[in-house]
């Protein structure tokens, strides 16, 4: 997908350092894990990390492994091994969770051991014995885990920050968290310019993790404005990457997060409209484009997308028209009725000639 980099200046396709501009090149990258009824089937070799923790790699990562006190950002789904009951899924929130190695909650001990063996971008299935999970008593609140339940985690390590003192986000000042998120955003933009979409998205996700709901809820005034100035561009940049990867539903989700904060955000409306158009949601796409045009009436990119949408609908209409014509066919023309009186006259003449001939023959005899 492209955001019309060449056709416009100072329009929604340009973003400078804060927002990336998508281009027309297509990329093929890994899809997020599918939400199946149970844990994924992984055929790779079983790696023993601990007496109660094993790991099977489903997707290789890159770079170094995190060390103790690293702040790791990850997504995971968790099941009880015996019943295959899924009790937690962080992918549903589209926001990664934070885990400081060596300072994780006691029920996350086994998960921490597994994460410490992973590289950024790696996806793995981790088996955890109940002793390093929710223990003998389990958990009857959230999440709901029965007593002495062995666990299965499908984990993706998005990335990590090496912080020697193990400083979690909750221990940072507002300025430190916003600054750390902004640094991640700039690193993501650099990766994007090098056509490394997966790495770019990892950086944006980590930046968004610094701006979690608990943090944003506490902010107001200039600090909230400062945080949104970093957080919203990361969501929009994620949407731009997802559109290029043809993951349109996820792109719509990222744009909708921005629109929940700023309902008139032109870039969010524009990119959500493009994703909806690709999914064939033409009415919703038109609504987004028209609303974006209301706030940016001179923008050529919006005008072009509306034109393309109209042309597409016209082509679909013509195709349907031809299809229905082929099904029912043209109305048959009525056949002209035969003029019976001509036949009758001809038969009468033949009969008359025959009688005259017979009369002459009888007279001759």
Q: Residue holding tokens 């404005």?
A: 225
DSSP per-residue string spanning 154-218: EEEEEEEE--TT---GGGS-HHHHHHHHHHHHHHHHHHHHTT-HHHHHHHHHHHHHHT-HHHHHT
> Which residues of the chain form CATH 3.10.50.40?
47-161
Residue 70: partners with Cβ closer than 8 Å, 6 or more residues away: 100, 101, 160, 161, 162, 163, 166
Residue 280: partners with Cβ closer than 8 Å, 6 or more residues away: none
> Which residues of the chain form CATH 1.25.40.10?
172-315
Helix axes 197-210, 221-244, angle to 10 degrees: 160
Q: Which residues pair with 126 in a beta bridge?
A: 55, 153
Residues above pLDDT 90, as percent of the chain: 49
Q: What mean pLDDT is reported for the chain?
A: 83
Chosen CATH of 47-161 out of 3.50.50.60, 3.10.50.40, 3.30.710.10, 3.20.80.10: 3.10.50.40
Q: pLDDT at position 161, please? A: 81
For the cut 80, the answer to whether the pLDDT of residue 135 exceeds it is yes
Q: pLDDT at position 117, please? A: 96
**Does the predicted model carry a pTM greater than 0.75?**
no
Residue pLDDT, tens place only, 160-188: 887 655 566 777 888 988 998 999 899 99
Q: pLDDT at position 332, please? A: 59
Q: pLDDT at position 277, please? A: 94
Phi and psi of 332, rounded to 5°?
-65, 140
Structure tokens at 113: 């051991």
Residue pLDDT, tens place only, 285-337: 999 999 999 999 999 999 999 999 999 888 877 777 777 765 655 555 555 55
Residue pLDDT, tens place only, 103-127: 889 999 999 999 999 998 899 999 9
Domain 172-315 has CATH 1.20.910.10: no
């Amino acid at each position: 997908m492209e955001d019309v980099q060449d056709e416009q200046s100072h329009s929604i396709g340009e973003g400078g350092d804060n927002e990336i501009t998508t281009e027309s090149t297509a990329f093929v990258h890994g899809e997020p894990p599918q939400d199946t009824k149970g844990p994924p089937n992984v055929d790779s070799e079983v790696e023993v990390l601990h007496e109660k923790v094993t790991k099977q790699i489903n997707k290789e990562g890159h770079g170094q492994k995190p060390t103790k006190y690293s702040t790791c950002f990850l997504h995971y789904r968790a099941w009880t091994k015996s019943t295959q009951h899924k009790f937690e899924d962080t992918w549903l929130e589209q926001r990664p969770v934070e885990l400081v190695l060596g300072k994780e909650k006691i029920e996350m001990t086994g998960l921490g051991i597994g994460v410490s063996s992973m590289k950024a971008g790696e996806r793995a299935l981790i088996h955890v014995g109940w002793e390093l999970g929710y223990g003998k008593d389990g958990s009857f609140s959230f999440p709901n885990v029965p007593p002495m339940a062995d666990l299965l985690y499908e984990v993706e390590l998005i990335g990590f920050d090496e912080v020697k003192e193990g400083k979690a986000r909750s221990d940072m000042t507002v300025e430190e968290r916003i600054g750390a998120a902004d640094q991640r955003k700039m690193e993501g933009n650099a990766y994007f310019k090098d056509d490394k979409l997966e790495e770019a998205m990892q950086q944006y996700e980590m930046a968004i993790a610094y701006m979690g709901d608990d943090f944003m809820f506490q902010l107001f005034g200039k600090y909230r404005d400062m945080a949104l100035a970093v957080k919203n561009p990361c969501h929009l940049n994620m949407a731009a990457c997802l559109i290029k990867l043809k993951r349109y539903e996820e792109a719509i989700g990222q744009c909708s997060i921005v629109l929940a904060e700023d309902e008139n955000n032109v870039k969010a409306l524009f990119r959500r409209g493009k994703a909806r158009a690709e999914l064939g949601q033409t009415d919703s796409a038109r609504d987004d484009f028209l609303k974006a045009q209301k706030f940016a009436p001179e923008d050529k990119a919006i005008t072009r997308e509306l034109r393309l949408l109209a042309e597409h609908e016209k082509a679909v209409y013509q195709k349907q028209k031809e299809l229905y014509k082929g099904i029912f066919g043209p109305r048959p023309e009525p056949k002209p009725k035969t003029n019976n009186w001509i036949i009758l006259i001809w038969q009468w003449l033949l009969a008359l000639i025959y009688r005259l001939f017979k009369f002459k023959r009888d007279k001759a005899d």
